[in-house]
Structure 1
Amino acid sequence: MKPFTLLFTFLTPLVAASACGPPKWKVGQTVHTTSGSVHGHAASTATEVSEYLGIPYAQPPVNKLRFLPPVRYHGKGRIDGGRFGPACIPSNISAYDADFPQSLIDSYGITDIGRAIIKTMTNPGIPISEDCLTLNVWTKPQTGEKQKPVLVFVHGGSFVSGSSAVPAYNGQFFAEQEDVVLVTINYRITFFGFPGNPHSTRNLGLLDQRLALEWVRDNIARFGGDPKRITLFGESAGGASVDHHTFAFAHDPIIAGVIPMSGTASGITPRPSAAAASLWYNTTSALGCGDATTHPPSLVLSCMQKVPYPSILATLLNTINAPIPMCYSPTIDDLHVFTNPSQHPTAKIPMLIGTTDNESGLFKVFVPPSFVSGDGNPNATSTSPQQNTFWHGENQRTFVCPAAARAARSASEGNPTWRYRWHGVFPNTNLGNKPASGAYHDSETAVLFGNVDQSQVRNTEVEEATGRYLRGAWAAFARDPVRGLEGYRGPKGWGNVEERKGENGWPRYVPGKETLVELGLEGVAGRRLVKGKFYDDKC
C-alpha cells in the first residue's frame, strides 16, 4: 500500500466523525462530572428523558463538618444515579405525620384526598440522613437546543422538612415537554441547617443551596444545559430562599433569573440573631455541651459535633406548637441575611413572583377554630367571620404584601418583572370543604411539575392543560428571562389558540396597571390580567 493511501485510510474515520459531530445522546448515558462518573437511566414515564439521581455536590456534613459551611465534593469514582439521596434531617414536626386528628378533620371537612395530601408533607417513606447533600438532574439532550435553559428547584417545608425526593418535584415532564434541564436539590434544614451558633456560620442551608448552584454552573453543560441560563425557583421556604439569594449574592448571583413562589425574604421573617442564639444554647445545654458561659465557645461546637443526631433531634422544638414562628430558619447575620433587606442591594436579574389565592387554606387545617377565636370555645366554627378576617390577615402579612413589595422594588430598579396569582382548584387537589380550601399554599406545585397524585381522582382536562401552560411559562422565562414571557401564549400545539387571540403574552408588572397575571381560573387554562392593587389591601 502506498504511503498516501495508508495515510488516507487512517484519516478517513477521523474526518467522518468530525463532520458528523459528537455521538448521539443515549438515554441514561454516563456523564463525567466533578463529583465522579454518574450513571443514569430512563425516567419512569417520560422514557426519552435521562434521569440522574442522588449526585453528591458536597462532602457529608458530619463529624467535624457538622454545623459548618459545606465543603465541595470531588470524586473520580462511579455514582449509580439510580435512586434519590436521603432527605436531610427534619424537625419533629408533630404527631400529624402519623394520624391527622379527627377533630380537625371534622372542623374543616377534610377529604380523603386532603388527608393524603397533608400526609405527603411529612416525607413519608423517605429515608433521612445527615449525609444528604445531593442533587438530581433530568435532561433530554437528543432533541432541541444543544445548550438548554436550566431550572433549579428549591423545595419548601418551613425550613424544617422537605426533600428533593418528594414525588411532586420529579422533573421528568419539565424536561420532556419544555426542552429544559431540570435540577432539584437537598439542603440542610431545621437545627442542622440553621443552628443559630453566634460564634460560627449560621445560614448553612442557604450556603448548601449556593454550593449546589456552583455545581450546576460547573457541570450542567455535560448534561446539555446552558450554564449562562440558570433560573432558580422555589416554593414557600424555597421561594424565600430564592429571594435571599438575590440579596446574599447580589454581585455574583450565578443565576440569570429567579422565581420566588409563595415566599420572600421579608415575608417569611428571618430570625433575630439573639433568638437564634438562645435556641442554640438551649439545645447545647440540654445535651451537656455547655452554654453561653462556656469558654472558649469552640468547646461547645466540638461537643455538639460528637452528639448522635437522634439525641439532637429529640431536643428540638415542636415546630407547629413552637413559641416563636419559624424557629429554625434563615437568621440575620448581615452577611447573607440582612436586618433591613429593603436597604440592601439586590442582584440585577429578572424576576417572576407570585402567590396563591388562599395561602392560609393549608395552614388553618392545622389549627383548631377555637385557637383563632381566642376563647377556647370548642364549638367555634371554621366559617365564622372572625376566622375569615384572621386568615385573610395572615395571607396578606406573610405572602401577598411582601410579594407585592418585592415585585414593585424589582420593577422600580429596572429589572424585567412579572407577577402572578394562582387560583387553581381541582377535584384531586382539594383539602376540605368547611369552607372550601381554595387555591391553598403549595397547591400549584404538583400541577406545575405535572405530578398531581391521581390514585383516587384523575386530572381534569383543564387541569392537564393548566399544568402544560404553567410549565411552558416557567420554561419561557428560563429560556429568556428578559423577553421570554412577553410573547408567551401557551405551549406549541397546545390548547385552543382561537380563544386566546387577544392574548399578547404576559406584560411586565407595573403597580397600578392591569399587569398581574391570574392563573388557574376556573375553566380557563390560560391567563387573565388585573391590577395588583385588586389584591393588595392592607399592604
Structure 2
Amino acid sequence: MKFFTVVTTLSLPLALAAPRFQHKQSNFTVGQVVETSSGFIAGHAAAIDCEVSEYLGIPFAQPPVGGLRFAAPLKYTGTSRLNASTFGNSCPLRPSSGTTPTPGEIAASNITEVGLELLTTIGSPDVVHGEDCLYLNIWSKPQSGEPLKAVMVFIYGGGFTGGTSATPIFNGAALAGQEDVVIVNFNYRLSILGWPGNPTAQNNVALLDQRLAMEWVRDNIANFGGDPTRITLFGQSAGAASTDFYSYAWSPDPIAAGIILESGTTGLYPANSENVSATAWYSTSMALGCGDASTNSTTLLECMRNVEVDSLLSAIPQTALSAIMSPFGPTVDNTLIFSNYSQQTPASIPVLAGNNDYESGLFRTQLALSGEILPDSLWDAYDLAGFTCPAGSRANASLIAKNPTWRYRYFGVFPNINISSEGGAWHGAELQLLFGTTYLTGNNTVEETAFQKYLQGAWTTFAKDPANGLRTYEEGWPLYNPAEKTLIRLGYGNGVGTNLASPMLYDSACANASLSALIASYFG
C-alpha cells in the first residue's frame, strides 16, 4: 500500500440536463471520420451520451519500445484509417505484490462500500498494459454549440508510477456533452520508463510525452471542433504537478491558454537530484545484471532496453523510503525540471489552483486497509506541507508573474463519493463531480447535482475564457489576493456559490511546514 504516492480513484454525477447550446453544424455527424496527422480516425457515439463523438486510442507518438525505451518520444504520423473504438494500451506498472484486505481490515478501516469499490475496482480498471502506450482520447460534440470549442486536456495522477487515461471516472463524454467543450486525455510513461534517472542520457521523458500530446492537440483538434487557441491543460495530483512542471519548462510557448492545478504543484513531489536518480538507475541496472556506474554507458543502456518489462519494473528498489515512494520521478536537469522554482518564471497564462480540505482522507483510508494506523497529527502535517502550502506558493508565484490567478479549497462530501468515515473531502473527490461519473457508484443527492453543475460550470468557464471568464461567473469569482478574503471555498457545507475566506485561515502555519522534513521524520 502506498502512503505518499497517489492512486487517484474517483467518480461524478451524470446530470442529464437539457442542452444549453443549440447552434447547429449540420456538416458534422456523430463519430464521423476525422483526418489527423495520425491518420483518418473513425469514432463512434459515446455510451453515456449518444450525441457525443468518442475517439479512443489515437496514437500520438511512435511506440517507445526497443531503441526508444527511455528515449524522448517521436511523433507518430500515418495515413491509414484507424478504428478509434477502444482505449490503447495503458503504460506498464510494477507487478502488484499487494494482498486483498481481510474482512477484519476492511471493518477496522471504516471504509464505506463506495470507498471499497473505488479503491479496489474502479480505480484499478481492467485494461491491457504494454509499452506501446502513448495514445490519447477525445470527446466532442461539434454538431451543436460553438463552432470551435474550448479544449480541456487532462493529465491523470498516480504518483508518477500509476494511472491510465482509461480509468472510468475520467470518461469525458458527460462533461463534453453538457458544457460545450472538447475533452482530451492521454497516457504518459510511468516509473523508470518515464523518469529513468540515467545520468548519461535524456531524462524526464514522461514530461516530453506530455508535451508531444499537447503538440498533437494543437495541430489536430480543430478537425474535432476544438479551438487550438483555447486549450486549457489541467491535472490532478501528479497530473497537476506535471501540469505545473510543464508551465515552467515551456514558459515561452506553453500551447495552453490557461492551466488548472488540482491538488498538485511543483512542490507536491520534490524533484530528485541527479545523484539520487542516478543511484536508483544504477541500483536497478545492477539488480538486472546490466552493470553499474563503471560499466560502459552504451552497453548498460542496451542491456536495460532488452530486459523484459515486468522484470525491469520488478527490479526497482523496494526498501526503506523506496517501498513507499517510487525512486523514479522528475529529476532536476535545469532544462525541464528546475532546482529552485522560486527563481523561475512560469508561462504568462491564467492559473486556477487549489486543493481539497482533507487530502489525507484517501491515504489514511488506503493505509488503514493494510492494518496501519497513523496519528491525526501526521496526516494534518502532510495536508499542510504537501498540498495547502504549495497551492498558496504557486498562487503567489502566479501573482508575481502578473498572471490572472484564482485559488480554491474544495469541501464537498456526498454519500456516493464518500470513501470512509474519516475520508472527508479526500484527495481527488472533486474529480467525480467534475467529469460527471458519480453514476458509477450511486445516485446523486439533489444538492450534489446542483453543486456538480456549479463546479463543472466554473472549470469550463475558465477554459472558455481563462483571463476573464471567472470574473463574471455566477456572482463573480474574485482574483486571488493573499491579503484579502479571496480564497474560494467550493462546496462549503455542500452548498453552491462562492463562499470566501482569508487564505491565512489555512496558510498561517506554512512558514514551518516542510514536506521533506515530514518524510525524513517519518522514516528517520
Letter in 1 for 2:244: D
CA RMSD of aligned residues (A): 2.0
Which residue number corresponds to residue 420 of structure 1? 408
Are the structure 2 counterparts of residues 461 and 93 from structure 1 closer, same or farther at C-alpha, using a change threshold of 3 Å? farther
Q: What is the CA-CA distance between 1:251 and the residue it aligns to?
A: 0.8
2:433 to 437, 441, 447: 447
Q: What is the CA-CA distance between 1:325 and the residue it aligns to?
A: 3.4
Q: What is the CA-CA distance between 1:307 and the residue it aligns to?
A: 1.2
1:510 to 481, 493, 506: 481
Q: What is the CA-CA distance between 1:333 and the residue it aligns to?
A: 1.1
Are the structure 2 counterparts of residues 323 and 308 from structure 1 closer, same or farther at C-alpha, using a change threshold of 3 Å? closer
Q: Give me the whole-angstrom Cα distance separating, in 2, the residues matched to 1:432 and 1:320.
A: 28
Q: What is the CA-CA distance between 1:24 and the residue it aligns to?
A: 1.7
Q: Please list the CA deviations of residues 137-175 of structure 1 after superposition, one character each: whole Å capped at 9, or x if unmatched.
A: 111111111111100000001111110000000001111
Q: Is the 8 A contact 1:355 1:399 kept in 2?
A: yes
- State the secondary structure of the residue aligned to 1:428: helix
Are the structure 2 counterparts of residues 450 and 317 from structure 1 closer, same or farther at C-alpha, using a change threshold of 3 Å? farther
More displaced, 363-372 or 49-58?
363-372
- State the secondary structure of the residue aligned to 1:47: strand
1:27 to 30, 33, 39: 30
Letter in 1 for 2:207: L
Q: Is 2:455 the counterpart of 1:470?
A: yes
Which residue number corresponds to residue 233 of structure 2? 232
Aligned residues: 487
Q: What are the ranges of 5 or more consecutive residues in structure 2 without an aligned counterpart? A: 1-23, 511-524
Q: What is the CA-CA distance between 1:22 and the residue it aligns to?
A: 8.0
Q: Which has the higher contact order (CA 8 A, sep 6+)?
A: 2
Q: Give me the whole-angstrom Cα distance separating, in 1, the residues matched to 2:235 and 2:275.
A: 28
Which residue number corresponds to residue 165 of structure 1? 166
- State the secondary structure of the residue aligned to 1:335: coil
Are the structure 2 counterparts of residues 395 and 93 from structure 1 closer, same or farther at C-alpha, using a change threshold of 3 Å? farther
1:460 to 445, 455, 463: 445
Query: Percent of counterpart pairs with the same letter?
Result: 46
Q: Give me the whole-angstrom Cα distance separating, in 1, the residues matched to 2:168 and 2:228.
A: 26
Q: What is the CA-CA distance between 1:108 and the residue it aligns to?
A: 2.7
- State the secondary structure of the residue aligned to 1:157: coil
Are the structure 2 counterparts of residues 449 and 397 from structure 1 closer, same or farther at C-alpha, using a change threshold of 3 Å? same
Which residue number corresponds to residue 100 of structure 1? 101
- State the secondary structure of the residue aligned to 1:305: helix
Q: What is the CA-CA distance between 1:85 and the residue it aligns to?
A: 0.8
Q: Give me the whole-angstrom Cα distance separating, in 2, the residues matched to 1:134 and 1:234.
A: 17
Are the structure 2 counterparts of residues 178 and 318 from structure 1 closer, same or farther at C-alpha, using a change threshold of 3 Å? farther
Which residue number corresponds to residue 328 of structure 2? 328
Letter in 2 for 1:461: V
Q: Is 2:184 the counterpart of 1:183?
A: yes
Q: Is the 8 A contact 1:85 1:134 kept in 2?
A: yes
Q: Give me the whole-angstrom Cα distance separating, in 1, the residues matched to 2:129 and 2:483.
A: 47
Which residue number corresponds to residue 482 of structure 1? 467
Q: Is the 8 A contact 1:271 1:326 kept in 2?
A: no
Which residue number corresponds to residue 10 of structure 1? none
Query: Which 4+ residue blocks in structure 1 deviate beyond 6 angstroms?
Result: 369-372
- State the secondary structure of the residue aligned to 2:300: helix
Matches within 5 A, 1:335-346: 335-346=335-346
Q: Is the 8 A contact 2:91 2:190 kept in 1?
A: yes
Q: Give me the whole-angstrom Cα distance separating, in 2, the residues matched to 1:92 and 1:307.
A: 15
Q: Give me the whole-angstrom Cα distance separating, in 2, the residues matched to 1:201 and 1:397.
A: 31
Which structure has the bigger radius of gyration? 1
Are the structure 2 counterparts of residues 369 and 187 from structure 1 closer, same or farther at C-alpha, using a change threshold of 3 Å? closer
1:82 to 81, 85, 107: 85
Are the structure 2 counterparts of residues 212 and 462 from structure 1 closer, same or farther at C-alpha, using a change threshold of 3 Å? same
Are the structure 2 counterparts of residues 471 and 151 from structure 1 closer, same or farther at C-alpha, using a change threshold of 3 Å? same
Q: Please list the CA deviations of residues 341-386 of structure 1 after superposition, one character each: whole Å capped at 9, or x if unmatched.
A: 11012111100001000001111123359998xxxxxxxx66xxxx
Which residue number corresponds to residue 287 of structure 1? 288
Letter in 2 for 1:425: V
1:53 to 45, 52, 56: 56
Q: Give me the whole-angstrom Cα distance separating, in 1, the residues matched to 2:322 and 2:148.
A: 46
Which residue number corresponds to residue 15 of structure 1? none
More displaced, 103-112 or 160-169?
103-112
Q: What are the ranges of 5 or more consecutive residues in structure 1 without an aligned counterpart? A: 1-20, 373-380, 490-503
Which residue number corresponds to residue 43 of structure 1? 46
Matches within 5 A, 1:487-498: 487-489=472-474
TM-score normalised by L of structure 1: 0.87
Q: What is the CA-CA distance between 1:458 and the residue it aligns to?
A: 1.4
1:388 to 376, 381, 394: 376
Q: What is the CA-CA distance between 1:60 and the residue it aligns to?
A: 0.2
Q: Give me the whole-angstrom Cα distance separating, in 1, the residues matched to 2:390 and 2:66.
A: 39
Q: Is the 8 A contact 1:407 1:417 kept in 2?
A: yes
